[in-house]
Amino acid sequence: MAKKDRKAPRPKAETPKGFRDYFGAEVSERKAMLDTIAQVYHRYGFDPLESSAVETVEALGKFLPDVDRPNEGVFAWQEEGGDWLALRYDLTAPLARVYAQHRNDLPTPYRRYAMGPVWRNEKPGPGRFRQFYQCDADTVGAPSVAADAEICAMLADTLEAVGIERGDYVVRVNNRKVLNGVLEVAGLLDPADPAAQAAERGIVLRAIDKLDRLGPDGVRALLGEGRKDESGDFTKGAGLAPEQADTVMGFMQATRASAAETLATLRALTASSVTGTEGVDELAQIADLLAAQGYGPDRIVIDPSVVRGLGYYTGPVYEAELTFEIMGEDGKPRQFGSVAGGGRYDDLVKRFTGQAVPATGVSIGVDRLLAALAATGKTGARAPGPVVVTVMDRDRMADYQKIATELRAAGIRAEVYLGNPKNFGNQMKYADRRGSPLAIIQGADEAARDVVQIKDLVLGAQIAENASLEEWKANPAQSEVPRADLVATVQRMLAGS
Amino acid sequence: MAKKDRKAPRPKAETPKGFRDYFGAEVSERKAMLDTIAQVYHRYGFDPLESSAVETVEALGKFLPDVDRPNEGVFAWQEEGGDWLALRYDLTAPLARVYAQHRNDLPTPYRRYAMGPVWRNEKPGPGRFRQFYQCDADTVGAPSVAADAEICAMLADTLEAVGIERGDYVVRVNNRKVLNGVLEVAGLLDPADPAAQAAERGIVLRAIDKLDRLGPDGVRALLGEGRKDESGDFTKGAGLAPEQADTVMGFMQATRASAAETLATLRALTASSVTGTEGVDELAQIADLLAAQGYGPDRIVIDPSVVRGLGYYTGPVYEAELTFEIMGEDGKPRQFGSVAGGGRYDDLVKRFTGQAVPATGVSIGVDRLLAALAATGKTGARAPGPVVVTVMDRDRMADYQKIATELRAAGIRAEVYLGNPKNFGNQMKYADRRGSPLAIIQGADEAARDVVQIKDLVLGAQIAENASLEEWKANPAQSEVPRADLVATVQRMLAGS
C-alpha cells in the first residue's frame, strides 16, 4: 500500500470547491458592465485604484490573529518570516489601509473607485462562490453628508447606465443615528453606557431587517415575547414592553407619501434624543440635496427600515433594490432585491492612524446585477463568432491564412480552422459551435477558377429547419464570388445579417 | 510584559513585502493596454476566459506536495478539509486544468485569451513584485504549426496596436526540436536515452541563452572548460570537446540574411537527426505561412539563439523583443529586451487526461510593455482631472451640486469640493492636485447677479509663472458668464484647451 501511494496519481482537473471559471460571453458581459460603471464613476470625479489582492491579516483587521491559524472567513497563510497574509475579503478594508499608508500623496477628499475579485473562506452553496466581483466607490475625507448624497445620486445613475430602467429600482436611504435615537427613546440604548443592552438591540435590529419577509405582525412578535413560525418553531423575542415596541414599530413604519412627511414623523419620534435629531437633520439635508439635483422619490427615498448588516456604519446608510419581480426558486414571483449597498464609516482609517477620518461609499454586487439583467433578458444574447475559413487542401494553408489576414485587416473577426481538416463535416460543426455567421470555402476547383464559396451559416440553419426540398436544392445560403471580391462581400453580408 | 503584549497595537498601514498598489493613471493605462490587446485577440477569433485565481496545488502541478508545506514558489495554504490550495503563478497551468475539465463543452481547437494578476512567492527585489499582470493567448487542440505561425503574427499585430512601431520590435522564432537535433549531432542527447547527460545539456542551454550578454567567445568558453568573468569569478563549463562546441556554436550563429539561408544552414547542421530535420521543416512551414501573410523579416525572424527557459516546450518557441535602446541603470544605453514569449507545449493537458493534447500560446508581460511605452514617452501624460465646483457658501451646497449635475449630464467630468470649504486656498490647492482644467466659483454676489466665475487653471498656472504685473492684474484666466451659459462655456473652454 505504502509503495502504491507513492506513485503520483493523475491530478484531478477541477476548480477548488466553491470556485468557478467564466467563459466567453460571461467574461465579456461582466467587463462591459464594469466599463460602464467605471465611466459613471469617472464622470463623478472618482479615480481608479487597484490595491494588492494580498494584505497582511493585521491590516484587514476584522480577522486579527488571536488563534494559531487566523483564517476564519478569509484565506490566510503564514509567510516564512512570520507575517500572516490573506486574500482581501472586500474592497473597503484595503481602502482604509491604502488611505492610511498614502494619505500624504492623495488629495483630500479622496474619491476612488475599485473593481475586482474578493475572496471569502465560507462554505460554498448553490450560486454562492468563494471568489466574486465587487465594484466600489468611496469618498474619504469628506465629513459632509453632501458626500453621501452624491454617492446615492451616482448609484442611481449607475443602475440606469447599465440598463436598469427608472422605476425598476429604488435607492433607499436611512441613517444609523436615527436608528440609535429611536433605540434611546425606547430605552434600549443609554448614551452614557453604549455597551449595555447590546444583545437586546441585536434582536431588535434583526427583527427590523425582517420586515419585508415577516410583515409588521411578525416583527412585532419578535420585539415582544417571540414568534412561532409556520413550522411551529419558536424564536425568542427581545422582550420589549408594549410601549417600547410601539416606538420601534413607529420608526419602521414611518415612511409617508413624501420625504418631508417621513422626516417629520421621524423627528417627532426621536425628539428627545440628541443623536436621533442629528440623524434626522442629516437625512433632511440629503433629501434636499437630491431634490435640488432632480433625484425625486421615483429614484431615491428615505426609508427607515434600511438597517444594513455591517457594524462599522456610523451615519447614513443606503441600499439599491430592484423592484421588478422574477420567478423565485419556489415557483412564486418575488422581488429581485438588493444589488448594492453602503454607508458612512468614520472609524475605519482611525484603526491605523489614531485620527478619525470620515468616509462613505457604496459596493455594487456586480454578479447579482448581471443576474438581474439576465433575468430581464437584457443580456445573454449570443455574440457572433468569427468568420471561419475552412481548410479544403492542407497544402494551401498559406492561402487560407491570407484570406483570414485580409478579413481581419478590414476589421472582421476571422480565423482559419486549425483542427484536423480531413473531415469537412467537423469543420462545419466547429463553425456552428463557435456561432460563426459565415464560412469561407475554397477547394482546388475554386482556387483554379480564382473564386471562393461563402456559406451563410445563419440562413443555412434556418433552411435546414424549414426548407422544402426545392429550396434546399437551390441552396441560397451558399454563394460563389470572385476571390478579389471576398472581403467586400463578407462585409456586406455581415452588415445585412 | 505579557499583559502589555495582549493590548492590540495599532496595525501597520503597509502592503505586504513585494506587493504594491496602483493609482489613477497607472490603472487606466494598463486597462487601456489590456483592452487594446483583447481587441486584437478577439479579431483573431480568441475567446475570453477568466479562470479562478485559486487552484488546487495538485492541479498547478509544478509544485506537487512532496513536503509538508508545498509553497515553494507559490502562495499556498491548506483547506480545513485537507486539500492544499494556491494562487495561480501563471495563466498556462490553469488553462491546462480548464481544458481538461471542460473539454467536452469547448470547441476544438479552443482559442482563448486570459488576462489578470498572477502571484509568485519569490524574494521581492527592486521593480520585482510578487503580484503582476499576464496577458496570454493560447490555442489548444491544434497540432499544426499554422497555429504557432498565427500566434506569432498576432503578437506582431498586438505590439503595433499598443504603440510599438514597426522596426522597434522583432518576433524571434526557434524550435526546440532543432535544438534537440543539434544536441543529438553534438553527442549530447541520445534519443534512445533522453534522460542521460541532462546536466551537460542544462549548462549548454544556459550558455546559449547568454549569447547576447557574453558574446560568442564567452559562450564558447562556457561550452568548454569554463569562463572567468571580469571580477575574476570562474564559472565551470560544460566540458565539450572542440568539435562538439563547434556544432553548438554553428547552430547559435546560423542566422543568415534570409530565412531560407538560415533554414538551409540549420538543415545541414541537423541532417543526421530525425528530430532536428522535423524541427527545420516546421520552421520552414512557419516562415512560409508568415511570408504569405506579409509578415517579413522586418517583423518576424527565424533565430536559433532563442531558447526560452520553461522545460515544458516541445516544438516552436517564440519571443518578442523591443530593439530600441533605453538608458540602463548603469547609465549605459541597452536594448529594452523581451516583452513576450511562448511556444508549443503538447504535454500539459496530458497530465490530467492521459491523452496528448497539442497546445501553443504566448504570454505578454504587460507591466514590462507599459514600462517600455513609458520609456519612449508614449504614456504617462497626465489625464485631465475633473472640473471642480468650489464651495463659497456652505448653505448653498445644493446649488453647487446642481452645477456639477448639469456638467455631468453634458458628459463633462465634474465634482463639487467636499472638503472643509472654509479656506478657499485649500480648494484651489485641491483642484491643482487633481489636475483640474477649470474651477467654477459662485459666491453670494455672483448668485445675486445670476452669474458664475470660471477659472482656467491651466492658463492660470502659466500666468503665475510668466506674467508681468499688468498681465497678472488683467487676470485673463478668470471670466464671468451668465449662469445659464455655464455648461456651453465650459464645453467650449475644454475643447479649446
CB atoms within 10 A of CB B461: 12
Comparing CB atoms, the residue among B56, B351, B398 nearest residue A288 is B398
Q: Is A41 annotated to bind ligand?
A: no
Residue A16 to residue B83, Cβ atoms within 8 A: yes
Of B42, B36, B45, residue with least CA distance to B163: B36
Cα separation, B270 vs B94, whole angstroms: 36
Residue B52 to residue A402, Cβ atoms within 8 A: no
Based on its alpha-carbon atoms, the radius of gyration of chain A, rounded to whole angstroms, reads: 30
Cα separation, A421 vs B143, whole angstroms: 11
Q: What is the tens place of the pLDDT at every residue in A118-149? A: 999 888 877 789 999 999 999 999 999 999 99
Q: What is the mean pLDDT of residues A429-458?
A: 94
User: pLDDT band at A375, cuts 50/70/90?
Assistant: confident
Q: Is A291 exposed, middle or buried (0-12, 13-18, 19+ CB in 10 A)?
A: middle
Residue A144 to residue B399, Cβ atoms within 8 A: no
Which residues of chain B lie closer than 8 angstroms to A49, CB-CB? 21-24, 27
Return the H-helix or E-strand segment holding B336.
Answer: strand B333-344
Which amino acid is residue B404, in one-letter code? A
Cα separation, B348 vs B310, whole angstroms: 12
CB atoms within 10 A of CB B231: 5
Cα separation, B349 vs B101, whole angstroms: 10
Cα separation, B272 vs B185, whole angstroms: 7
Q: Are A135 and A115 in contact (CB under 8 A)?
A: yes
- Which residues lie closer than 8 Å to A8 by C-beta, 6 or more apart? B64
Residue B418 to residue A85, Cβ atoms within 8 A: no
Which residues of chain A lie closer than 8 angstroms to B354, CB-CB? 10
Name the closest residue on chain B to residue A49, using Cα atoms: B23
Residue B64 to residue A8, Cβ atoms within 8 A: yes
Kindly report the backbone phi and psi dihedral angles of residue B116, in degrees, each rounded to the nearest multiple of 5, phi listed first.
165, 175
Q: Is B312 annotated to bind ligand?
A: yes
Q: What is the tens place of the pLDDT at every residue in A70-106? A: 456 899 999 887 889 999 999 999 999 999 999 999 9
Q: What is the tens place of the pLDDT at every residue in A268-320? A: 999 999 999 999 999 999 999 999 999 999 999 999 888 776 667 889 999 99
Q: Are A380 and A374 in contact (CB under 8 A)?
A: yes
Which amino acid is residue A48, in one-letter code? P
The C-alpha cell at B55 is: 487552484
pLDDT score for A270: 93
A-B contacts at Cβ under 8 angstroms: 273
The C-alpha cell at B57 is: 496545488
pLDDT score for A484: 97
User: pLDDT band at A1, cuts 50/70/90?
Assistant: very low
The C-alpha cell at B227 is: 569562463
Q: Is A134 annotated to bind ligand?
A: yes
Of B326, B360, B357, residue with least CA distance to B342: B360
Which residues of chain B lie closer than 8 angstroms to A8, CB-CB? 64
Phi-psi region of A320 (alpha: psi -120 to 50; beta: other; left: phi over 0): beta
Task: Assign B286 to helix, strand or coil.
Answer: helix
Q: What are the strands, taking DSSP E only, across B345-395? A: 359-364, 387-389
Q: Measured between CA atoms, how close is A324 to chain B, in angstroms? A: 27
What angle is formed at CA B455 by the lines to CA B449 and CA B461, rounded to 5 degrees?
155
**DSSP single-letter state for residue B485:** G
- Which residues lie closer than 8 Å to B216 by C-beta, 6 or more apart? B249, B252, B253
Residue B58 to residue A416, Cβ atoms within 8 A: no
pLDDT score for A63: 44
Kindly report the backbone phi and psi dihedral angles of residue B417, in degrees, each rounded to the nearest multiple of 5, phi listed first.
-65, 125
Task: Assign B383 to helix, strand or coil.
Answer: coil
End-to-end CA distance of chain B: 64
Q: What is the tens place of the pLDDT at every residue in A191-226? A: 899 888 888 888 888 888 888 788 899 999 999 988
CB atoms within 10 A of CB A311: 8
pLDDT score for B471: 67
Which amino acid is residue A337, in one-letter code? G
Task: Assign B174 to helix, strand or coil.
Answer: strand
Residue B47 to residue A23, Cβ atoms within 8 A: yes
Count the helix, strand and coil residues of chain B and give each as a percent rounded to the nearest 5. 40, 20, 35
Q: Are A197 and A188 in contact (CB under 8 A)?
A: yes
pLDDT averaged over every residue in chain A: 89
Q: Is A92 annotated to bind ligand?
A: yes
Which residues of chain A lie closer than 8 angstroms to B144, CB-CB? 397, 418
Of A358, A357, A328, A393, residue with least CA distance to A146: A358
pLDDT score for A70: 46
Residue A416 to residue B71, Cβ atoms within 8 A: no
Q: What is the mean pLDDT of each run of 10 residues along chain B (497 residues)?
A: 53 94 94 96 97 94 46 83 89 95 95 96 83 96 96 97 95 94 92 86 84 87 89 88 91 88 94 95 96 93 81 89 82 85 90 92 93 82 88 94 96 95 91 94 95 91 73 76 97 85
- Owner of C-alpha cell 462562490: A129
Cα separation, A323 vs A338, whole angstroms: 9
Q: Is B90 annotated to bind ligand?
A: yes
Distances, alpha carbon B409 to alpha carbons B405, B415, B479, B488, in Å: 6, 12, 23, 12
Map chain A to HEC letters: CHHHHHCCCCCCCCCCCCCCCEEHHHHHHHHHHHHHHHHHHHHCCCEEEECCCEEEHHHHCCCCCCCCCCCCECCEEECCCCCEEEECCCCHHHHHHHHHHHCCCCCCCEEEEEEEEEECECCCECCECCEEEEEEEEEECCCCCHHHHHHHHHHHHHHHHCCCCCCCEEEEEEEHHHHHHHHHHCCCCECCECCCCHHHHHHHHHHHHCHHHHHHHHHHHHHCCEEECCCCCEEECCCCCHHHHHHHHHHHCCCCCCHHHHHHHHHHHCCCCHHHHHHHHHHHHHHHHHHHCCCCCCCEEECCCCCCCCCCCCCEEEEEEEEEEEECCCCCEEEEEEEEEEEECCCCCHHHHCCCCCEEEEEECHHHHHHHHHHCCCCCCCCCCCEEECCCCHHHHHHHHHHHHHHHHCCCCEEECCCCCCCHHHHHHHHHHCCCCEEEECCHHHHHCCEEEEEEHHHHHHHHHHCCHHHHHHCCCEEEEEHHHHHHHHHHHHHHC
B135: β partners? B115, B364
Maximum average pLDDT range among A69-73, A136-140, A177-181, A355-359: A136-140
Q: Measured between CA atoms, how close is A337 to chain B, in angstroms? A: 27
Of A150, A96, A53, A92, residue with least CA distance to A363: A92
- Which residues lie closer than 8 Å to B64 by C-beta, 6 or more apart? A8, B57, B58, B70
User: For chain A, which domains are there?
Assistant: 24-53+88-177+275-375 (3.30.930.10), 387-496 (3.40.50.800)
